[in-house]
Structure 1
Amino acid sequence: MGMVNITRLARVIRSKNAGPYELTLDIIFNDAETYRRVKAKRLINKKLIAGLYHIPEEQVLALVAFDPANAVKATIVRSRPCGDVGETDVYGAQQHAPLLELELPWDD
């Protein structure tokens, strides 16, 4: 079994503000079959997200598989409240970067 970068499996990988204390991470897969494989094998899970973002697993507040969009959505606690002194991304739109390096086990 080889590894594949998430950017080969997903057409959209993004982050956005989910209120002053949370961020939402979205992974929208290229097609339904890829999404179903990732979902069935639970390749995206709270432990994985926590590791990528160097946060305790308890700070991954939600992990939702959304079948109509072939997407997985995770909500995490922001490291700093939105607009706080020292906070550098009010919109949360640059926080998906750790996901771009994600390698998943995959057989073609």
Structure 2
Amino acid sequence: MKRRLKDIAEVIRSKNAGPYELTFDIIFKDWELFETACKHHIINKQVIASLYDIPITDVINIIEFKPAKAIKATIVRPMASGQLGETDVYGAQQHAPLVDLEVPF
């Protein structure tokens, strides 16, 4: 069975991790969902690279952060924060592709 990430996560957000990186936080609704997500590696470098149409080498890391029931992913920003032509200085609107991601659950 597949479920959308927004149905199993309490929070899905993005933000700057410095001027050259973006980080995504996925905070799960409960421990069972978090542990299942971690066990099956539903968020991994290949998933993030595909969602954001970037090389897998631009996915810096995926971290399972147990104290917060969260998975964090960090990528190289396509454009530096504030660079001419860049449209999201704070990186706060970049999580949209994650919201409807279908994951095996």
Same fold (TM > 0.5): yes
Equivalence map 1:6-85=2 (5 Å): 6-85=5-84
Q: Which amino acid aligns with 1:39?
A: C
Compute the TM-score of the two structures, normalised by the length of structure 2.
0.98
Measured after TM superposition, the shift of residue 78 of structure 1 is 0.5
Measured after TM superposition, the shift of residue 60 of structure 1 is 0.4
CA RMSD of aligned residues (A): 0.5
Q: Which amino acid aligns with 1:103?
A: E
**2:90 is the counterpart of 1:91:** yes
Query: Stretches of 4+ moved more than 3 A in 1?
Result: none
Unpaired runs of 5+ residues, structure 1, are: none
| Equivalent-residue separation in structure 2 for 1:21 and 1:74 (angstroms) | 14
| Equivalent-residue separation in structure 1 for 2:70 and 2:88 (angstroms) | 24
% same residue? 55
Partner of 2:4 in structure 1? Answer: 5
Compute the TM-score of the two structures, normalised by the length of structure 1.
0.95
**Count, aligned residues:** 105
